[in-house]
Structure 1
Amino acid sequence: MQLDLIRISLSEQTLTGYQAGQAVCHFPVSTAVNGAGEREGSGCTPRGRHRIRARIGDGQPLRAVFVGRRPTGELWSPELAAQYPRRDWILTRILWLCGEQPGFNRGGDCDSQRRYIYLHGTADDQPMGVARSHGCIRLRNQDMLELFELTPVGCQVIIDDGATGPLTGDSA
């Protein structure tokens, strides 16, 4: 089974994955502490229509640490976190987003891909359901692993303020 749509609700801090219009997975997430926004340097989570540009980390262990989209060979632990208290932990897997709306989340100073906006795993001590990221969409590592296995390159992603319940005809 593969997802054909991922919907992220900023207001609910949730992600729901769909196949043929039916919800097949649902996870709590953490989006940007700075709220919604598309501009470069804003630290905000971009809204609108996106797609998965790349899947990164296949085969890496749970809690694998990534820097610049490459595994460092480290595994996140409370001890490693204490050594690097200022790191923004990108763990386990990465689904890299590409905006689909020129002038809104694609191109110029609002390009989600050039802003390196990802869905990714995060440190075990980070809360879900609370906006705390620097713009990306954070998931628990086990949830990220499950989502990664279901998500192909090209999968549609919608990020908005709406509820992630059943889709209606105008949602996608």
Structure 2
Amino acid sequence: MISNGQSNVQLIVNIAQQTLTLYRQQTKIRCYTISTAKNGVGSQQDSGRTPLGTHIIAQKIGADQPINSVFIGRVPTGEIYSPSLANEYPNRDWILSRILWLQGLEEGINKGCNDQGGCDTYERYIYIHGTPDSEPMGVPYSHGCIRMRNQDIVELFAQVEEGTPVSIVAA
């Protein structure tokens, strides 16, 4: 496992199992059920897919926001998600509670460009974030991000730092 300074924390996202596992000092601490991209895995710009490979948490966003806070463009709107708000904005891709913005570390795989064009996780705005509790978990359903239950992302957010390694694996 990749070391993260003194805390030695790492996240493993398993696409096949639809899980995110938190490790500390190579010991499994917690396994969360998640939802990755309904379009499968891939790193190309505008693919709507979840990128594979080695990443880090580049930015943590939303530390002091209430649970179910709504974010647009990584900025809290001041709204708190509710079913009535969802009815008002039926086409929103809800990003709630906390954001862990990922950055790829592998040039041409999840960083920069390759022969097919842009493949940069950070520039694609790929996050680990909260989603409405009514959304399915354990099945691929996102637009490329890694979705979590709101309580789970708040819990995870408190246990990681910017720079924490994140490995996204197919199986």
Does structure 1 residue 45 correspond to structure 2 residue 45?
A: no
- Match for residue 153 of structure 1 among 145, 148, 162: 162
Whether the aligned pair in 1 keeps the contact of 2:96 and 2:131 (CA below 8 Å) is yes
Alpha-carbon distance in structure 1 between the residues aligned to 2:16 and 2:40? 10
Does the aligned pair in 2 maintain the 1:35–1:131 contact within 8 Å?
A: yes
**Which residue in 2 is equivalent to 1:85?**
90
2:127 matched residue in structure 1: 118
Distance 2:30 2:163 in 1: 18
Secondary structure at the aligned position of 1:138 is classed as strand
Three-state SS of the structure 2 residue aligned to 1:150 is: coil
Displaced runs of 4+ in structure 1, greater than 6 A? none
| 1:22-171 pair list within 5 angstroms | 22-108=27-113, 109-162=118-171
Q: TM-score, normalised by structure 1?
A: 0.92
Say yes or no: does 1:18 pair with 2:23.
yes
SS of the aligned residue for 1:18 comes to strand
Aligned to 1:169: none
Aligned Cα root-mean-square deviation (Å)? 1.1
Deviations, residues 117-147 of structure 1 (Å, cap 9, x unaligned): 0000001110100100000000000000000
What is the CA–CA distance in structure 1 between the aligned matches of 2:55 and 2:80, rounded to whole Å?
Answer: 30
Percent sequence identity over matched residues? Answer: 49
Q: SS at the partner of 1:16?
A: strand
Name the CA distance, whole Å, in 2 between partners of 1:42 and 1:102. 18
Q: CA deviation at 1:25?
A: 1.2
* Structure 1 residue 30 displacement after superposition: 0.2
Query: What are the ranges of 5 or more consecutive residues in structure 1 without an aligned counterpart?
Result: 163-172
Cα distance, 1:98–1:154 mapped onto 2, change above 3 Å: same
Distance 1:32 1:3, change over 3 A: farther
